[in-house]
Structure 1
Amino acid sequence: MSKRSNSVDLFTNKVMNYMTDDFILVEKNELVKTTIEKLRKEKKSTVIIQENEKMIGIITEKDILKRVAFSADEKTKVDQVMTHPVKFVYEDDLLFHAVGKMRKLNLNHLPVLDMSLKIQGMIDMNTALQAELGDVVNQIDKMTYDEQDVSGLIKIKQQQVILANNMLVRNAYPGDISYLLSFLNNVIYRRAIRLAEKRVGEKNIIEKIPEYSVIVMGSGGRMESFLHPDQDNGIIYETNNEDPKKVDLYFNELAKDFTKTLDDCDIPFCKGDLMASNPLWRKSVSEWKNQITQFLDNHTPQDMRNIDMLYDFRSIYGKKELAENLKIYLNEKLHEKKLLKFLYFSEEQSDAAIGFFGQFILEKNDKENLGLLNLKHTGTLPLVESIRLYSIKHKVTKISTFERLNELNKLKVLTVDEVDFFKNAHRFMSNILLKNQVERTKQGLTIKNFIDPKTLLEREKKVLKIYLKQIRKLKQRVRVDIGEEYF
């Protein structure tokens, strides 16, 4: 397999893989004099000032040379000369995002934080990295507008099609493109939420805001989004001494604000109302657990669809431990109650679009898409659902489809050849979908998941039919395997 270009690596590697420990931590009352001595002794270049384990300021070598050395005396404390608020990136941000932010802000260093806003490391801009970027620098600049402004977020969203097209031309892996599209959506999410926090905070609904986590579900949770997905999100929050009604009012206002911003940025409202603005998807930790238990106790078709929609979730903002705790609870309850058969029934209607005689099964009811093939809902989705059901049964905790496939191979549920086959099937269909979506955008048409199989090459048709046949067989196999234990 040929090595991917530097530009593709730039758009797929995470900040956490590039960060260093080139910093020291000091409390805000530390004297500048002793801080500089400590900096030199440990041979670091950046000072992070913290209060209650949260970053509140930064001092760099450049600050010391140009500003601090001339203004500080023996009694000057670091919080008197620090730069604040501090610009930063998250540890799971992608490398290009950090590079673009440093270029825009003319910075040589950026702190790297986790979602609880605790310092994890530093990332620095160096000449070697810039030299490797080549013609991609201009594209990075276009995707790092002022993220505190909604117009900047809209421009980031608009760049997704251009970026997807360029990466397809460079023969990037479809999974990498989907990951990048999901990441950019998460960037917009996080900035939309922070804008909402500021606006809703001005309403003074509650005095102390509980810790909380914003989650995304479905393809966004798996980091497998195509172009133009709608919103699938929720909120998990802790309880505190505040009035529960006021707490819910605060999070209701927060949810309405950030989901409206997302819609303005062309991440549209979910038609099924699978959003934090719906109380069903916005609850305290204990309420979430009670609701999950209720879904599983009732196990009606709608209850199991709700579990199905919830299962592939990840925290993209706030206290991620809340999401991790809920994920553990959900998995434990699913196994305790042995309800996988009902979860299977909720997905039974989605199947690979291939008939008994090897013909494509095309749309017959939707007038707008008559004669077309829904390559997501009757292609990638039944594959994803089958792998998810196997993962639940065998207690695989990974979220992405490829990670789940790897784990299922380790557990000997699937062979090496089967894992390779289904990964290639997912890549092949994703590539067709992404190319079709980009082409429709170029023509000014609405992005959708339907393709016209007549536009495929004969070789592509044959390969697609092979993949769809095996996905249908996998779906049947899942039913049998789950039936042995649960039916």
Structure 2
Amino acid sequence: MRAVTTTSKDQQLSFFLKEVVPFDRLPEEELKILSDKLSTRHYAPNTLIHTQSVSPVRHLSIVYSGRVEKYFLNRNKQKEFLEYVLPGEIYGGISLLLNNRRSIRTVIAAEETKIYNLTAEDFLRLCQKYERFSSYFTDRFGRRMLNQTYSGFVNNKPDEPVSYEQTDHFFKQKVKEISRPLPVTCSLDTSIREAAALMTAHRSPSVLISGENQILTGIITDLDLRNKVVAKGLNAERPVSEIMSNPLISIDEDCYLYEAVLKMFREKVHQLVVCKGKEAVGVISRNKLLHSQVKSPFIFMQSILTADLLEELVRKWGQVPDIVNQLLSRGVRAEIVNQVISTASDSISQNIIQQTIREMGDPPCRFVFMVLGSEGRREQTLKTDQDNAIIYEDVEDSDRAMVREYFLEFAEKVSFKLDQTGFAYCEGDLMAKNPKWCHSLSHWKRNYRTWVTSPDPEKAMRSAIFFDCRAVYGDETLLTSLRGHILELLHNPSQTFFYLLAKNGLEIKPPLGLFNNFHTVSHEDKKGVINIKRAMSIVVDFARVFSLKHGILATNTGERLRELWDREILSVVEYNELLQAYYYMMQLRLLNQSDAIRQNDTPNNFIDPKSLTKIERVTLKEILKVLDKYQTKLSVQFTGSFLK
């Protein structure tokens, strides 16, 4: 008679656990012990198990049968980041380990469900004893925190209303909600007087100008009539084409109001044409937007442009940290905060340049004042110095000395006023007041030709910042001409140009040491800190090198990454990982600087990992591991070798 073997309940549970991730990482003797510790719960369909940010979590739960739903509930009572937990899967571990035993998401039984529960104490014991077991939860959570929607919900405090966009209507309302219908139109040869009569008859503050095939080509506003006609005594019978602003600057109707205002300041226009796809459907004016926001940061920027005294600008720049702190505390994304800081900085520079021109008299020729580095990328923080240069047009040999003397004196005065306002002199003297960085257009073209076609290691390191440039004031056609020249050079660069740029970008390593511990340094009186700016520069360098390789002349890191994705040079996963990694670190950097200023300390780029929450530390570690992966990709593609 053959013996019959039976399997005990504990053995069955042990076999079951062996198939469950991450219990499959545990030794068999541990699984046998755990099988005796599990308790059982049954849930009827639609039973609420946990409420996000409210319910205490006392167990790690393992689904044996049925199905569980996990999701965030937004302010409109809609489910976000919905996931199903199926038989053989778990939930609750991240809440126990990293969220102070509070449920991160709402959890319900989607159908009749059987759950095995392991107590928090037993779960935490396993995490302490088995690193491979605990790393499953920290790695998984770190990857999830790279998703902006997920991290936005997690970062909300339990007593706050659940929203990943907690701010005023400038950051929630879309352009189409307040744009007005298209104003009247006229042709290019319509007289200024007739155009003004049309505006009066239709009570419109502007008129659009249409060219061939009724394509809109320009716009005239009340301000144009005052500044370009009345103030200059221009004959009102002249055609509108002589005073219109063109090309038209447009914005999609689904963009947010803050994007519209920032674009108006950036493009130095007072109205935008609102488009639905390629069709113009309306207009939106800066005045209307700003008048509706008396306490908006954008009203503050408008006040910078109209300040008369240097003392006013000093006071205005001193208010920026408080504005940044308010924006960050209301959940505004770091990417937007960068733009707000950069736009405020631009407004101060424009005011100072205009003041200097009034003091010195009109420039002897066309010129453009450009900014470089983080300011050139529109990624300024609260710790900033001057990085700028001047391009002036080529003039007759007989005028060259006079022109150069004017702009060097001009640059000296502008830099001095910027320093007085709060923008410190560049320690490397990378400023327009340095004769090396104040030149004619043809001289600048020769500079870039040398950098691209005959580079050496020192020039490659120094020249990288000049590919992150944009105009702040003056005739932008000069910079446009230079950009066209750069694009031509990039079609046939030196074989070593991209190699040296990449090598320069590979000099900095992610501050992560053995066993995923932070690699810290000492800075002044601070010990055990990491330089978050250096970590972020890994993404900046990656985006710059890949963009230049593919002829992309955008300077903003986010815009570079988007265009690389649009051109299918980066996959959607790579794009999202890099973008979320960069702006997560930027958020930490801005918060660190804002906190320092509130404590009457000097802002810096050094963060003490111990000052971060457990969630922030885990997320940052995951990001640093991601950076290492992309440095390897940069090295393989541009130096032909793997990182050591």
Given the two structures, how large is their TM-score scaled by the length of structure 1?
A: 0.76
Alignment of 1:9 onto 2:165: no
User: Counterparts of 1:225-244 in structure 2 under 5 Å?
Assistant: 225-241=380-396, 243-244=399-400
* Corresponding residue for residue 291 of structure 1: 447
User: Counterparts of 1:71-470 in structure 2 under 5 Å?
Assistant: 111=270, 123=285, 125-126=287-288, 130=291, 133=293, 136-137=295-296, 140=299, 144-145=303-304, 146-201=306-361, 209-241=364-396, 243-336=399-492, 337-338=494-495, 339-364=497-522, 366-377=523-534, 379-470=535-626
CA–CA distance in structure 2, aligned partners of residues 332 and 312 of structure 1: 17
* Corresponding residue for residue 104 of structure 1: none
Amino acid at match of 2:601: L
Q: Does the 8 Å CA contact 1:212/1:318 hold for their aligned counterparts?
A: yes
- Do the aligned partners of residues 12 and 294 (structure 1) sit closer, same or farther apart at CA in structure 2, a change above 3 Å counting? farther
1:430-484 residue CA offsets vs partner (Å, 9 max, x unmatched): 1111111011001111110001111111221111111011102211210111134
Q: Which has the higher helix share?
A: 1
CA–CA distance in structure 2, aligned partners of residues 9 and 410 of structure 1: 28
Q: Does the 8 Å CA contact 1:99/1:125 hold for their aligned counterparts?
A: no
SS in 1 for 2:439: strand
Once the two structures are TM-superposed, the CA of residue 246 in structure 1 deviates from its matched residue by 0.7
- Do the aligned partners of residues 225 and 35 (structure 1) sit closer, same or farther apart at CA in structure 2, a change above 3 Å counting? closer
Gaps of 5+ in 2: 1-148, 150-162, 209-218, 238-247, 251-257, 273-282
* Corresponding residue for residue 29 of structure 2: none
Per mean C-alpha deviation after superposition, the further-off stretch among 413-422 and 143-152 is 143-152
Gaps of 5+ in 1: 61-67, 69-75, 80-89, 101-109, 114-120, 203-207
1:202-232 residue CA offsets vs partner (Å, 9 max, x unmatched): 8xxxxx6211111111111111111131111
Q: Which has the higher strand share?
A: 2
Q: Does the 8 Å CA contact 1:97/1:140 hold for their aligned counterparts?
A: no
SS in 2 for 1:224: coil
CA–CA distance in structure 1, aligned partners of residues 192 and 546 of structure 2: 57
CA–CA distance in structure 2, aligned partners of residues 484 and 5 of structure 1: 46
Q: Does the 8 Å CA contact 1:10/1:96 hold for their aligned counterparts?
A: no
Higher-Rg member (1/2): 2
1:325-345 residue CA offsets vs partner (Å, 9 max, x unmatched): 212322432441231001122
- Do the aligned partners of residues 11 and 3 (structure 1) sit closer, same or farther apart at CA in structure 2, a change above 3 Å counting? closer
Q: Does the 8 Å CA contact 1:143/1:159 hold for their aligned counterparts?
A: no
CA–CA distance in structure 1, aligned partners of residues 235 and 487 of structure 2: 50
- Do the aligned partners of residues 122 and 239 (structure 1) sit closer, same or farther apart at CA in structure 2, a change above 3 Å counting? farther
* Corresponding residue for residue 117 of structure 1: none
Q: Does the 8 Å CA contact 2:520/2:528 hold for their aligned counterparts?
A: yes
* Corresponding residue for residue 64 of structure 2: none
Amino acid at match of 2:605: N
SS in 2 for 1:277: coil
Per mean C-alpha deviation after superposition, the further-off stretch among 168-177 and 139-148 is 139-148
| Matched residue count | 427
RMSD: 3.9
- Do the aligned partners of residues 98 and 358 (structure 1) sit closer, same or farther apart at CA in structure 2, a change above 3 Å counting? closer
1:77-123 residue CA offsets vs partner (Å, 9 max, x unmatched): 769xxxxxxxxxx97997668999xxxxxxxxx9559xxxxxxx882
Alignment of 1:480 onto 2:636: yes
Amino acid at match of 2:635: R
Q: Does the 8 Å CA contact 1:11/1:95 hold for their aligned counterparts?
A: no
Structure showing greater relative contact order (alpha-carbon pairs closer than 8 Å, 6 or more residues apart)? 1
Question: How much identity, in percent, do the aligned residues show?
Answer: 24
- Do the aligned partners of residues 246 and 191 (structure 1) sit closer, same or farther apart at CA in structure 2, a change above 3 Å counting? same
CA–CA distance in structure 2, aligned partners of residues 400 and 409 of structure 1: 14
CA–CA distance in structure 2, aligned partners of residues 314 and 168 of structure 1: 26
CA–CA distance in structure 2, aligned partners of residues 161 and 186 of structure 1: 16
- Do the aligned partners of residues 249 and 344 (structure 1) sit closer, same or farther apart at CA in structure 2, a change above 3 Å counting? same
Amino acid at match of 2:170: D
Per mean C-alpha deviation after superposition, the further-off stretch among 247-256 and 391-400 is 391-400
